[in-house]
Amino acid sequence: MELDEQKYLYFLFILPVVAVLFLFNLYWKRKKQREFGDLEVIKRLSPERSIFKPFLKLGVLLLALIALIFGLVNPKIGTKVETVKREGIDIVFAMDVSKSMLCEDVAPSRLEKSKQIVSQIINQLGSDRIGIVAYAGSAFPVLPITTDYSVAKMFLQSMGPGMVSSQGTSLDEAIKLSGTYFDDKSKTSKLMIMISDGEDHSEGAEAAAEEAKKLGMKIVTIGLGTEKGGTIPLKKNGIIESYQRDNNGEIVITKLNPNSLATIAKITGGGYVNGNNTKEVLEYIKATLDKIQKTEFEATQMADFQSQFQWFLGIGFVLLFLDVFFLERKTSWVNKLNLFNENK
């Protein structure tokens, strides 16, 4: 069960206040009755007055308030499963999570900048299906093709160098794995968006791009970093402890290599864009998406919680209606049963 407006649960604190006021009123009445005369004499003067009925009215009132409060909270229970037809394309985001992406020549870092860019691209998508691949020295599937953008963003934020064991940057591995995300038999347009600093430590990226072209994939590459480059800080708890060094003990300087990224994109009929300016990237991606033909497809089944507020509000108003008609005098047929030993 899901509660839509949990803030209204604070209204439940009204219940003990109502109960305390009721008890105080009851105490005040008894006190005044004692001042007026003997309680037994007063009881004989009003034989139809019920001792139990005020407590029953209180109980009904409290139940009515609880129902109304839960109506405001709007509980959502149950699921509604349906198949939705959408029109769009399939997109795989291939994100470089190698240590070079920790370089801060682009604020706040190349990796965090790439997360921001992908998140904003997702925000401007309509009905497209998306998947995520992480790669460094090897490629790793993060999220299969889905229409659930919120889940995609959740996985996106958890990505980092630690999720891929082998370091380096293998663009060919990223392309090959991304190709497995697409259905060969589907007519849906296939787009791969590769985000990297372009420092490819493997061979075969161009050959992988040629194979991707045969599969009908178009690759758009986004380069992050500066050609001047920068160091790779190694942090612990947000504090820089050291900098990445090579086998000779020298501090590594990592630079943007746009040429390798531009070549891969050109082979597949895609394009390259510098990712340091987020606005330019978003405009470029939007223009690219507008040119790609959309295809109708069936989305995965979606679960939707159903609002139940109307039941609680209905019960609450019925109980309030009944409470108005509950009199404090004894009910004749209940009085004959003498359940509460009120007849002496």
In sequence order, what are the residues at sequence separation of 6 or more whose Cβ sits closer than 8 angstroms to the Cβ of residue 306? 76, 77, 78, 79, 80
pLDDT of residue 142: 93
What is the rounded distance in angstroms from the CA atom of residue 67 to the CA atom of residue 319?
Answer: 9
Task: Give the mean model confidence (pLDDT) for residues 280-299.
Answer: 86
Task: Give the mean model confidence (pLDDT) for residues 54-77.
Answer: 82
Q: Say if residue 108 is preceded by a cis peptide, omega within 30 of 0.
A: yes
Q: Whose CA is closest to 258, among 199, 205, 218, 176?
A: 199
Q: Whose CA is closest to 91, among 143, 55, 13?
A: 143
Domains and CATH numbers, the chain: 2-79+305-337 (no CATH), 85-298 (3.40.50.410)
3-state helix, strand, coil in the chain (%, to 5): 45, 25, 30
Q: 192-206, 216-230, 298-312 — which is least confidently predicted? A: 298-312
pLDDT of residue 178: 94
pLDDT of 333 strictly over 50: no
The chain-wide mean pLDDT, for the chain, equals: 82
pTM confidence score: 0.63
pLDDT of residue 22: 84
Question: Sorting pLDDT into bands at 50, 70 and 90, what band is 40?
Answer: low
The answer to whether 335 touches 227, Cβ cutoff 8 Å, is no
Q: pLDDT tens, 242-256?
A: 888 888 889 989 999
Q: In 10 A of CB 70, how many CB atoms?
A: 22
What is the rounded distance in angstroms from the CA atom of residue 120 to the CA atom of residue 228?
Answer: 27
DSSP 3-state assignment of 216? coil
Percentage of residues of the chain with pLDDT beyond 90 = 37
What is the rounded distance in angstroms from the CA atom of residue 188 to the CA atom of residue 90?
Answer: 7
291: enclosing H helix or E strand:
helix 278-291
What is the rounded distance in angstroms from the CA atom of residue 283 to the CA atom of residue 12?
Answer: 50
pLDDT of residue 261: 93
